[in-house]
Every structure is written in C-alpha cells, then in structure tokens.
Amino acid sequence: MTLFARARSIKPATPLPSEHPAEQLDDSDVFVCKRDPDEDATVTLFVTGWNDVAPGPLSWAFPNMRAALDAVKKMRNAVEWSIVRGVDYTLDEARENGSVLIEQTR
C-alpha cells in the first residue's frame, strides 16, 4: 500500500495557468497519491490461531486495513488471522464471497 509518491519536476519560472489554484506546482517533491475509496473501508480482523495462550477465535472491527495490520502485528501470539472487507460476515461467509483481503495461516 503506497501512501506517498515522489516525483521530480522542474518548477517553471512562471506558474502554469490552471483552472484550480491547488493544481499549480509547488516546491515540494512529495505528493499524496489519490486514494481508492474502498481502501479505507471498514474491515474485520479474525484471529483463529494462537501460539501460546489460546482464547479461541476472536474478531474486531477496524476503520481500515492499516489499523488492522498494526493491531495484529502487536498481537505476537496470533499465528492464524484474516482481514476481511466489511463487518457483517463470519470468516466462512467472507471466504465464500471473496471478501478476504489478507490471510495468514500456519
């Protein structure tokens, strides 16, 4: 997932005419990429396998995939997990519908 894109450009001596002032070139060489609206869709993190302590399968809703990935990274004993688009699915339903975005199995 790319948050920033770098582009080299030579700033002209006079600003280019533009219908929108925000589209004129500036001194920065870091530009934010346009984001896909589905990229920020709510996701559900399912943890189905654990390393040491095994509380059983658990799930949490997150505002986006980045937040879910950060959470599962902090759960060091989670060894089997899936991130699913949306919050209205069980893991089996998400697999049938093709809504699983990323999955780690043993």
Question: What domain count does the chain have?
Answer: 1
In a domain, 93, yes or no: yes
In a domain, 27, yes or no: no
Which neighbouring-strand residues pair with 4? 32
CA-to-CA distance for 31 and 4, rounded, in angstroms?
6
- What's the domain range around 75? 38-104
In a domain, 59, yes or no: yes
Residue 35: which pLDDT band, with cuts at 50, 70 and 90? low
pTM for this prediction: 0.61
In a domain, 9, yes or no: no
Cβ neighbours of 71 (radius 10 Å): 16
pLDDT-above-90 percentage for the chain? 40
* DSSP code at position 90: -
pLDDT digits (tens, 9 = 90+) for 9-18: 555 555 555 5
In a domain, 24, yes or no: no
In a domain, 20, yes or no: no
Report residue 16: phi and psi, to 5°.
-70, 140
Q: Which helix (H) or strand (E) holds 69?
A: helix 65-74
In a domain, 100, yes or no: yes
In a domain, 15, yes or no: no
Looking at residue 55, its amino acid is P
CA-to-CA distance for 88 and 85, rounded, in angstroms?
9
pLDDT digits (tens, 9 = 90+) for 72-105: 999 988 999 999 999 888 999 999 998 999 999 8
